[in-house]
Amino acid sequence: MSLKEDISRILGPEKVSGAPDVLATHAGDKWYASVLPEAVVFPESTEDVSLLLRYASSMNIPVTARGGGVGYVGGCVPVRGGISLSLERMNRILEISPEDGVAVVEPGVITADLQREARALGWFYPPDPASRKECSIGGNIATNAGGPRCLKYGVTRAYVLGLTVVLASGEVVECGGRTHKNKTGFDIGDLFIGSEGMLGIITRAVLRLIPHPEAFGALSAGFPQFPLAAAAVQRILNSGHLPSALEITDSFTLRAARNYLGDSALPSGCRGHLIVEVDGRRPAVREELDSLCTLLEECGATGILRADTEAEAEAIWQLRREFSYSLKATGMTKLNEDIVIPRSRLVALVEFCEALNRETGLDIACFGHSGDGNIHTNIMVDDYANPEKKALADACVDRLFHWVLAHGGAITGEHGIGLAKAKWFRKAVGEGAYHLHELVKSALDPKNLLNPGKMGLP
Binding string to a second copy for residues 108 to 137, with x set by CB under 8 A, is what?
A: --------------x---------------
Binding string to a second copy for residues 15 to 54, with x set by CB under 8 A, is what?
A: ----------------------------------------
Kindly tell me which of 27 and 428 has the beta carbon lying closer to a second copy. Answer: 428
In the list 111, 143, 203, 249, the residue contacting a second copy (rule: CB under 8 A) is 143
The one-letter code for the residue type at 78 is: P
**Residue 310 engages a second copy in binding (rule: CB under 8 A):** no
* CB of 203 closer than 8 Å to CB of 165: yes
3-state helix, strand, coil in the chain (%, to 5): 40, 20, 35
CB of 217 to a second copy, least distance (A): 13
Kindly tell me which of 320 and 421 has the beta carbon lying closer to a second copy. Answer: 421
Binding string to a second copy for residues 158 to 177, with x set by CB under 8 A, is what?
A: x--------x---xxxxx-x
Kindly tell me which of 50 and 220 has the beta carbon lying closer to a second copy. Answer: 50
First and final CA of the chain: distance in angstroms?
29
Kindly tell me which of 173 and 392 has the beta carbon lying closer to a second copy. Answer: 173
In the list 33, 35, 237, 329, the residue contacting a second copy (rule: CB under 8 A) is 237
Residues binding a second copy: what is the number (CB under 8 A)? 96
For 13, what's the count of Cα atoms within 13 Å in the CB-facing half-sphere? 2
Kindly tell me which of 69 and 409 has the beta carbon lying closer to a second copy. Answer: 409
Q: Which helix (H) or strand (E) holds 333?
A: strand 333-340
Q: How far apart are CA 241 and CA 291, in angstroms?
A: 10
CB of 449 to a second copy, least distance (A): 16
Furthest CA-CA distance within the chain? 73
From residue 5, give the alpha-carbon distance in Å to each of 17, 21, 87, 420, 453: 10, 18, 20, 33, 26
Kindly tell me which of 107 and 146 has the beta carbon lying closer to a second copy. Answer: 146
CB of 81 to a second copy, least distance (A): 24
CB of 294 to a second copy, least distance (A): 13
**Residue 436 engages a second copy in binding (rule: CB under 8 A):** yes
Kindly tell me which of 181 and 358 has the beta carbon lying closer to a second copy. Answer: 181
Q: What is the DSSP letter of 213?
A: P
CB of 387 to a second copy, least distance (A): 29
Residues 267-296 contacting a second copy, CB under 8 A: 280-281, 283-284, 287-288, 291
Kindly tell me which of 112 and 237 has the beta carbon lying closer to a second copy. Answer: 237
Binding string to a second copy for residues 179 to 218, with x set by CB under 8 A, is what?
A: xxxxxxxxxx-xx-xxx--xx----------xxxxx----
**Residue 227 engages a second copy in binding (rule: CB under 8 A):** no
Q: How many helices (H) and strands (E) does the chain have?
A: 13, 18
Cβ within 8 Å of residue 219, ≥6 positions away: 274, 275, 276, 289, 292, 293, 296, 304, 305, 306, 307, 316
CB of 397 to a second copy, least distance (A): 15
Please count the other Cβ atoms lying within 10 Å of the Cβ belonging to residue 444: 19
* CB of 139 closer than 8 Å to CB of 124: no
In the list 68, 373, 452, 453, the residue contacting a second copy (rule: CB under 8 A) is 373
**Residues belonging to the chain:** 458
CA nearest neighbour of 330 among 247, 388, 387, 253:
253
DSSP lists the bridge partners of residue 219 as: 276, 306
Q: How far apart are CA 399 and CA 388, in angstroms?
A: 17
Q: How far apart are CA 180 and CA 330, in angstroms?
A: 47
CB of 406 to a second copy, least distance (A): 12
**Residue 238 engages a second copy in binding (rule: CB under 8 A):** yes
* CB of 365 closer than 8 Å to CB of 333: no
CB of 358 to a second copy, least distance (A): 27
In the list 344, 361, 383, 402, the residue contacting a second copy (rule: CB under 8 A) is 344
3-state secondary structure of 240: coil
Residues 375-434 contacting a second copy, CB under 8 A: 408-417, 425, 428-430, 432-433
Residues 314-343 contacting a second copy, CB under 8 A: 338, 340-343
CB of 411 to a second copy, least distance (A): 6
Contacts of the segment 108-112: beta carbons below 8 A, 24+ positions apart: 108/67, 108/136, 108/137, 108/138, 109/136, 109/137, 109/138, 110/68, 110/134, 110/135, 110/136, 110/137, 111/135, 111/136, 111/137, 111/140, 111/145
3-state secondary structure of 156: helix
Kindly tell me which of 107 and 176 has the beta carbon lying closer to a second copy. Answer: 176
CB of 28 to a second copy, least distance (A): 19
In the list 46, 115, 253, 374, the residue contacting a second copy (rule: CB under 8 A) is 374
Kindly tell me which of 131 and 144 has the beta carbon lying closer to a second copy. Answer: 144
